[in-house]
Amino acid sequence: MSKSFKTFLKHTAKDFHNQSVNPPVVRASTIIFKSMKDIRSTQKKAKKNPTGGYYDYGRQGTSTTYILQKILTKLEESYHVFTTPTGFGSVFLAIFSVVRPGDEIIAADPVYSPTRILTENFLAEFNIKTIFYNPHDLKTLENNISKRTKLIFVENPGSNTFDFQDLGKIISIAKKNKILTAMDNTWGTPYYIKPIKLGFDMSIVSATKYYSGHSDVMGGSLAVNKKVFSKVKAAEKITGLRLGPDDAYLITRGLRTLDVRLDRHRENAKKVAAFLTKNKKIKLLYPYKKNSNNYKMWKKYYSGASGLMGLKIKSKNIKSVRKFVNSLKLFGYGYSWGGFESLALHQEYRETGNRRFLRLAKDEHLVRLHIGLEDPKDLIADLKQAMKNLI
């Protein structure tokens, strides 16, 4: 990419044909041709160049979805990007594409709870076994590799507890054993880290989050290298996991300001983090403490940090933790994140999933904060007044 990331986002995909800054929304179920000869010609082109945007049926996409795919492919520095109706759709597509009955998956223990349910419970019914490793002890990964291991699935940082892992070491282990790799990169996005360039075979981002940026659209992206492209392409075709043109348009529009928004999320989060570390009852789960292993692993691979963080609050009274969250005025309460607004969520233990390596004391509680685009002084003042409830 000759232009910088920031410039590319502002100047890509202009529609000079319609004299529009943004490409139009093209909706289609039937792709119409002038003749049967045109259909066959398009099908031949699609076979010769499967990433070229040649379609003969609407389920395969339209020019609107194709434009988004090309933008994301450049951002990810990947061979191709597939888009799905939800972020979790991309998780499913990545796994479904490369594992079969009798195979084994090794996954990071702090993966997104639905990812854990999919791998640990649902896939087990199809004779696909999943083993979970400790993100802070990669021997628990290496020692569980067998001849049946087909995929190492990484979420970095870990969901809810924000564990940062030695990604380079994981890739080295995988390549040594000829195992495919996938990384859920929703927290960092390719703005802060490019997993395919680093050596992963697949990179997943929930476009619902920062790509969209406005909490009004669902979508997912799955970037791949050339090695796994054919497998994912075949799986996408048979499952019909394809993002619709209206959502593709909104995500493309959101991407125009991805860098501006993420820079602001990062700066706001940094200021809020500095304030939160002053409270002895709170252990901040965010890469800020320079002598910590989490910080070192973040600094080694990332160029920045997003706005999502966790708080491990020490309190013998869970009601005070709930009151702390419920007394916040500028933080909305709800799932998801990555929009312009700040959010807070008290994480009940069941919501973290059936983890092997997560140990919380009876008086420890998890709260997740998404630091939005508001004035950080206002957010800090809101947190300060709410902290009076922590006992």
The pLDDT score that the predictor gives to residue 353 is 67
Q: What CATH number does the domain containing 277 carry?
A: 3.90.1150.10
* Spatial CB neighbours of 246, under 8 Å, sequence gap ≥ 6: 25, 27
Helix (H/G/I), strand (E/B), else coil: 178: coil
Q: Is 355 exposed, middle or buried (0-12, 13-18, 19+ CB in 10 A)?
A: buried
**Boundary (domain end) residue, out of 255, 285, 317:** 255
Residues 288 and 354 in one domain: yes
**Boundary (domain end) residue, out of 223, 255, 287:** 255
DSSP H or E stretch at residue 245: helix 245-255
Residues 209 and 304 in one domain: no
Query: In a structure prediction context, what are the per-residue pLDDT tens digits for the chain, which is 391 residues long?
Result: 456 878 888 888 777 666 778 888 899 989 999 999 999 999 999 999 999 989 998 888 999 999 999 999 999 999 999 999 999 999 999 999 999 999 999 999 999 999 999 999 999 999 999 999 999 999 999 999 999 999 999 999 999 999 999 999 999 999 999 999 999 999 999 999 999 999 999 999 999 999 999 999 999 999 999 999 999 999 999 999 999 999 999 999 999 999 999 999 999 999 999 999 999 999 999 998 887 889 999 999 999 999 999 999 999 999 999 999 999 999 999 999 999 999 999 987 666 667 888 878 889 999 999 999 999 999 999 999 999 999 8
Residues 212 and 267 in one domain: no
Residues 267 and 251 in one domain: no
User: What's the total number of domains in the chain?
Assistant: 2
- Residue 121 is given by DSSP the state I
Residues 41 and 84 in one domain: yes
The pLDDT score that the predictor gives to residue 1 is 47
Residues 342 and 209 in one domain: no
Task: Answer for the pair 72, 5: CB distance below 8 angstroms, yes or no.
Answer: no
Residues 111 and 32 in one domain: yes
- Calpha distance 131→133 (Å, rounded): 7
> 94, 96, 88, 302: which is closest to 206 by C-alpha?
88
**Boundary (domain end) residue, out of 255, 288, 311:** 255
Q: What is the DSSP string of 346-363?
A: EE-GGGG-S-SS----TT
Q: Tokens 């290298």 identify what position?
A: 225
- Residue 227 is given by DSSP the state H
Domain, as residue range, for 138: 5-255
Q: Is 31 exposed, middle or buried (0-12, 13-18, 19+ CB in 10 A)?
A: middle
Residues 66 and 201 in one domain: yes
